[in-house]
Amino acid sequence: MKLAYWMYAGPAHIGTSRVASSFRNVHATMHAPLGDDYFNVMRSTSERERDFTPVTASVADRHVLARGSQEKVINNISRKDEEQHPDLIVSTPTCTSSILQEDLQNFVDRASLSSESDVIPADVNYHRVNELQAADRTLEQITRFHLDRARRQSTSDRSVTNRPSANIIGIFTSGFHNQHDCRELKRLPGESGIAVNQVIPEGGSLRYLKDLPRAWFNTVPYREVGLMTATFSEKEYGMPYISITPMGISNTADFITQIGKLVNVWASALSEKRLNYKLYIDNQTKFVSQAAWFSRSIDCQNLAGKEAAIFGDATHAASITKILVKEMGIRVSCSGTYCKHDAERFNEQVRGLCDEVIVTEDHTEVGDTIARIEPSAIFGTQMERHIGKRIDTPCGVTSSPVHIQNFPLGYRPFLGYEGTNQIADLIYNSFNLGMEDHSLDVFGGHDTKEVSTKSLSTDRGDINWTPEAESEPSRIPGFVRGRTKKNTEVFAKRNNIPEITIDVTYAAKEKSSS
Amino acid sequence: MKTPEIPTFECETGNYHTFCPISCVAWLYQKIEDSFFLVVGTKTRGYFLQNALGVMIFAEPRYAMAEPEEGDISAQLNDQKELERICLQIRNDRKPSVIIWIGTCTTEIIKMDLEGIAPKLEKQLGIPIVVARANGLDHAFTQGEDTALAAMTHRCPEYNRRTTHQLGEDMARHVAVDVAPSKKFFDERGKSNICNLVLSGSLPSSVASQLNLESRRQSVSVSGWLPSQKYTELPALGEGVYVCGVNPFLSRTATTPMRRRKCQLVGAPFPIGPDGTRAWIEKICSVFNVKPDGLEERENQIWKNLSDYLEVITGKSVFFMGDNLLEISLARFLIRCGMVVYEIGIPYMDRRYQAAELLLLQHTCEKMKKPTPRIVEKPDNYSQVQRMHELQPDLAITGMAHANPLEARDIDTKWSVEFTFAQIHGSANARDAPELVTRPLRRRSDSVSGCRSLSRQTVDV
């Protein structure tokens, strides 16, 4: 047993549900007790999703413990099939079904006899993989399922597209800035004459999945999800893939150079003219992205040698480390990830860039490390932001897990050339905020405090509060406390009550009709 | 006189969204200040809690997960040793007065004997360990609190009329300190009956003291609360003690003191809304043979204070999808406010514990000349959405999973969980529930480019 307060990556079924619900017209069902379909709440709130999340639970109750789920799972699958006619139903294992050792494959086999939709069980071991690994696996599984079938039915079209084209693999729901990154990613090759063949899973339709291999190559922007699909396509269909994350100027340049290489291989085969990307990279770096100029500017000079700590998923933590060190001259004291399964590669990525590497899933270890090295700024997840609050250190959020405020409505990619601008802002603002606070301290804080308190206060002065009553407003959340206090005093005055007791506060609340 | 129409009860498939009952940890650890909650369950539970609790999770909460790993599931590891190790760590780090183990579906399925292990470890560690099985196999959302409080009833000190009289007074004094009585309203406080009334239900301390005040106005003093602010201050239970629930989901907490501690249960409607608060007080007074005084004027006064809200909601219709068991009381209150209730979805309906509330619902429907709503136990969310599509209610009270999609389909919604955390009990808080209910209705305007339905889901074949 493990004592835990917080986890960075969720349980496996969340990953599977995220992938399934990102595709169009795919439904995920899970066999779980009441309350385990919390994913629907998360998707509906943090992503502000307008549509019903296509995930349902067939609720496991005590009868299931006694006699097994019997027809329950199958009936639920058939019911979804009739009600919503999805293209595919993914039966998702949960901790409950794995402890009950239910034979999902058997359920699925029986359910698919009677349903129009395809039904597959997500091949995910609940105890051994986390959310991200499960998502990676499920995406590969769904792709493989459809491509294999297309091949069997010989409906697959294996001719490559006339114009160079690419698939973008791994953009999906509840991902950190995924929607914006996707738009930026489409633009990146698009400007250099490369079409986007398909984006999966987000918004992808299974009906067209068979055309996936028509692209010239695959791009996998995030390491966590999509690599399995890409390696599978490489093995089965000979599709090359690019796994460089185009985050930061140099990574983006590498990414485009890779594209150039892959495209030009075909270009020569098709006896077309070779495309030259060097000029494009040069132009973008100098004029579209402000980041290169920013790192030359005086602002950034002030950041030189400042210390930072970084934590997050493998993709974002590694890329941000590289940006800070190589592009801004900031010293990274510590860089870390919670993607334990990808530790080796992460170490390799940040080697030589930081003083210390931590790979852990324990947020207290991260907190202690940060507290020890006292960086000027932190770049991490929401958890690190709160660690930062506690030790008075500014934090820029650069990786999942995140809150609703990290699903902005405005355009905030992290990838591509626009992404470099966004990241530069984020980094500069984080450091600057810390310096502003620091200089305030140096100059003795807000020296106008006394004067401004008077104009901002709700104190009436001429009315007494008993100590008990005084303690009452302190139980009220801070942001309404002032108003409540004022209302009470107005009420007391109106009723000629000289002293505010606790009963008066209640009576005032009762009477208040603003 | 025509007898009121009896509400119809239906039962559906139970495929509905609600919170896992372990969420009770979120408010109970704040209520019981010296407690520590240990949730024994897998990552799924932990993930739910950390997301549902939101910001609270960052405030060093007094709760944690004990996550069984593969070795625990296959019984390669010894449950007792594992729990001992973890509880020792908690005891040393946090020094709580009680550790409450929350059993989850995982512990149910692998049949971990928490109740058996707890007394042994309790002796070994010298710290009380209370076991509550708040799992999603048997319970929904707020029922988690019910299991925890029911488990705590066994830890309440024994009430003995003769020898503990002094103790009872101490307790009353203690409660009184908590409440900080005013001499202005209660000069004859000394005269108030020594009643042994214990109220059950976890409420914020200010709401609890408002309810104390409410009953003291009728010179019935409350001798204790379950739960108390501290575990070490649990109220005494025993023969001669009356117990009354303040929340509709506490049926186990009501029956346990009755069956195991020989207490008497006061079956009253719940003090939600001015009508509910009045009926609740009246019932308590009748038990203690006190003639209630000035209740009607008080209720009317409060209704008058609500008039601006009533203007907004009168005549509007509402649909409860059901997820927290407050539904019957809220529906009753809203009908009294002049709304039409189409359907009351509810996870679980204890018709005995809620009998008085159901009766009040019937009378309210009759009085307001509104149709009696259908009560749907274990609702099926999919069918409910279909029904809502036909009925087009003005307001749906629903969980967050459905709120945004329904809004996009032009049905105003109120997030039901807010009713669980808002202060809706007693007369002093009468405005808070209508404040929540009217919020979506008040903001309704057609100004945004005239789009009503903003759903993206199109039927493409």
- Give the integer Cα–Cα distance in Å for A114 and A415: 45
Residues 6+ away with beta carbon under 8 Å from B217: B185, B293, B294
How far away is chain A from the Cα of B407, in angstroms, using its nearest Cα?
8
- Give the integer Cα–Cα distance in Å for B442 and A405: 25
Chain B within 8 Å of A329 (Cβ-Cβ)? no
A215, pLDDT greater than 80: yes
Dig out the tokens for B195 from the structure: 């009643």
A79-88, A438-447, B21-30, B405-414 — which is least confidently predicted? A438-447
What average pLDDT does the segment B58-81 reach?
84
Burial class, B443, CB count within 10 angstroms (exposed 0-12 / middle 13-18 / buried 19+) = exposed
B376 beta partners: B10, B345
- Give the integer Cα–Cα distance in Å for A214 and A160: 4
Provide Rg for chain A, Cα atoms.
28
Q: Quick one: pLDDT at residue A333?
A: 95
Q: Tokens 């599977």 belong to which residue?
A: A16
Those of residues 204-223 in B touching chain A at CB distance below 8 A are: 204-206, 209-210, 213
Structure confidence by residue, pLDDT tens digits, B292-321: 988 999 999 999 999 999 999 999 999 999
Instruction: Report which of residues A299 and A252 the model is more confident about.
Output: A252
- Give the integer Cα–Cα distance in Å for A380 and A320: 10
Numbered residues of the known binding site of A for [4Fe-4S] cluster: 36
What residues of chain B lie within 8 A of the CB of A61, using their CB? 14, 137-138
- Please give the backbone phi and psi of residue B372, each rounded to the nearest 5 degrees, phi first: -75, 125
Residues 6+ away with beta carbon under 8 Å from B293: B217, B218
A2·B141 Cβ contact <8 A = no
Cα–Cα–Cα angle for A206, A149, A197, rounded to 5 degrees: 40
- Give the integer Cα–Cα distance in Å for B348 and B151: 20
Q: Quick one: pLDDT at residue B333?
A: 96
B137·A34 Cβ contact <8 A = yes
Q: Yes or no: is domain B21-139 CATH 3.40.50.1980? A: yes
Dig out the tokens for A418 from the structure: 């626009």
**Helical ranges in B235-393 per DSSP H:** 251-260, 273-287, 295-305, 307-313, 327-336, 355-368, 381-391
H or E segment to which residue A109 belongs: helix A104-114
How many CA within 13 A on the CB side of residue A29?
A: 29
Instruction: List the single best residue of B12, B16, B17 to mutate versus A (max A Cβ within 10 A).
Output: B17
With a pLDDT cut of 90, the percent of chain B lying above it is: 66
Q: What is the number of CB-based contacts under 8 A between chain A and chain B?
A: 203
DSSP sequence for B200-243: ES---HHHHHHHHHHHHTTTEEEEEEES-SSGGGPPPBSTT-EE
Q: Quick one: pLDDT at residue B179?
A: 43
Residues 6+ away with beta carbon under 8 Å from A439: none
Q: Tokens 């250099």 belong to which residue?
A: A192
Structure confidence by residue, pLDDT tens digits, A354-379: 999 999 999 989 999 999 999 999 99
Label residue A83 by pLDDT band (50, 70, 90): very high
With CA atoms as reference, report the closest residue to A496 among B186, B302, A504, B181.
A504
Dig out the tokens for A392 from the structure: 């008075």
With a pLDDT cut of 70, the percent of chain A lying above it is: 92
What average pLDDT does the segment B253-271 reach?
93
Count the neighbouring beta carbons within 10 Å of the beta carbon of residue B432: 18
Q: Are B373 and B387 in contact (CB under 8 A)?
A: no
B1-10, B81-90, B336-345 — which is least confidently predicted? B1-10
A37-41, A156-160, A293-297, A312-316 — which is least confidently predicted? A156-160
A38·B65 Cβ contact <8 A = no
Numbered residues of the known binding site of A: 36, 434-435
- Give the integer Cα–Cα distance in Å for B290 and B218: 7
Domain B295-445 maps to which CATH number in 2.30.130.10, 3.40.50.1980, 3.40.190.10, 3.30.420.40? 3.40.50.1980
Q: Where exactly are the structural domains of chain B?
A: 21-139, 193-288, 295-445
- Please give the backbone phi and psi of residue A377, each rounded to the nearest 5 degrees, phi first: -155, 155
Partner residue facing A468 (CB), from B18, B180, B400: B180
Q: Quick one: pLDDT at residue B191?
A: 44
B66-80, B361-375, B381-395 — which is least confidently predicted? B66-80
B178, pLDDT greater than 70: no
Q: Are A390 and A373 in contact (CB under 8 A)?
A: no
Q: Tokens 């002032």 belong to which residue?
A: A482
What average pLDDT does the segment B229-236 reach?
94
Instruction: List the single best residue of A2, A6, A34 to mutate versus B (max B Cβ within 10 A).
Output: A34
B44·A95 Cβ contact <8 A = yes
The DSSP letter of residue A268 is H
Domain at A292-443, CATH class: alpha beta
With CA atoms as reference, report the closest residue to A140 among A232, A217, A242.
A232
Label residue A61 by pLDDT band (50, 70, 90): confident
A185, pLDDT greater than 70: yes
- Give the integer Cα–Cα distance in Å for A42 and B17: 12
Q: Are A139 and A226 in contact (CB under 8 A)?
A: yes
B161, pLDDT greater than 80: no
- Give the integer Cα–Cα distance in Å for B388 and B248: 25
Instruction: Report which of residues A462 and B214 the model is more confident about.
Output: B214
Query: Which residue in chain B has the smallest CA separation from A59?
Result: B15
Residues 6+ away with beta carbon under 8 Å from B29: B35, B36, B37, B61, B62, B63
B225, pLDDT greater than 90: yes
Regarding the domain delimited by A12-127, which CATH topology (the fold level of the hierarchy) does it fall under? Rossmann fold (3.40.50)
In chain A, list all ranges with CATH 1.10.8.550.
464-513
B110·A99 Cβ contact <8 A = yes
Structure confidence by residue, pLDDT tens digits, B419-429: 998 899 998 89
What residues of chain B lie within 8 A of the CB of A50, using their CB? 404-405, 407-408, 454-457
With CA atoms as reference, report the closest residue to A489 among A480, A478, A501.
A501
B221, pLDDT greater than 80: yes
Collapsing DSSP states into helix, strand and coil, what is residue B310? helix
A448, pLDDT greater than 70: no
Q: Quick one: pLDDT at residue B164?
A: 46
Those of residues 8-67 in B touching chain A at CB distance below 8 A are: 14-23, 40, 42-44, 46-48, 50-52, 54, 57-58, 61, 63-67
Burial class, A286, CB count within 10 angstroms (exposed 0-12 / middle 13-18 / buried 19+) = exposed
The DSSP letter of residue B158 is B
Query: How much is the mean pLDDT over chain B?
Result: 87
The DSSP letter of residue A183 is H
Dig out the tokens for B314 from the structure: 């009168």
What residues of chain A lie within 8 A of the CB of B385, using their CB? 52
A460, pLDDT greater than 80: no
- Give me the CATH code for the B193-288 domain, please: 3.40.50.1980
Q: Quick one: pLDDT at residue A58?
A: 87
- Give the integer Cα–Cα distance in Å for B5 and B1: 12
Pairing of strands B129-133, B220-226: unpaired
| Dihedral, A8, A14, A20, A22 alpha carbons, nearest 10 | -50
Instruction: List the single best residue of A464, A503, A513 to mutate versus B (max B Cβ within 10 A).
Output: A503
**Catalytic amino acids of A?**
299
Regarding the domain delimited by A165-274, which CATH topology (the fold level of the hierarchy) does it fall under? Rossmann fold (3.40.50)
A326 beta partners: none
A70-84, A323-337, A413-427 — which is least confidently predicted? A70-84
With CA atoms as reference, report the closest residue to B277 among B286, B285, B269.
B269
- Give me the CATH code for the A464-513 domain, please: 1.10.8.550
Chain A within 8 Å of B109 (Cβ-Cβ)? yes
Count the neighbouring beta carbons within 10 Å of the beta carbon of residue A260: 20
B162, pLDDT greater than 80: no
Instruction: List the single best residue of B19, B22, B44, B106 to mutate versus A (max A Cβ within 10 A).
Output: B44
Q: Quick one: pLDDT at residue A407?
A: 92
Instruction: Report which of residues B6 and A261 the model is more confident about.
Output: A261
Structure confidence by residue, pLDDT tens digits, A382-433: 999 999 998 889 999 999 998 888 899 999 999 999 999 999 999 999 988 7
- Sign (positive/negative) of CA torsion A319, A320, A324, A325? negative
Instruction: Name the strands in the sheet holding A165-171, side by side, starting at the edge strand that comes first in the sequence.
Output: A195-201, A165-171, A217-219, A241-242
Q: Is the peptide bond before B271 cis (omega within 30 degrees of 0)?
A: no
How far away is chain B from the Cα of A268, in angstroms, using its nearest Cα?
42
- Give the integer Cα–Cα distance in Å for B160 and B145: 27
Label residue B190 by pLDDT band (50, 70, 90): very low
Q: Tokens 């599509």 belong to which residue?
A: B389
What residues of chain A lie within 8 A of the CB of B347, using their CB? 34
In chain A, list all ranges with CATH 3.40.50.1980.
12-127, 165-274, 292-443
How far away is chain A from the Cα of B290, in angstroms, using its nearest Cα?
22
Numbered residues of the known binding site of A for substrate: 434-435
Q: Are A461 and A498 in contact (CB under 8 A)?
A: no
Label residue B461 by pLDDT band (50, 70, 90): very low
Q: Are A105 and A121 in contact (CB under 8 A)?
A: yes
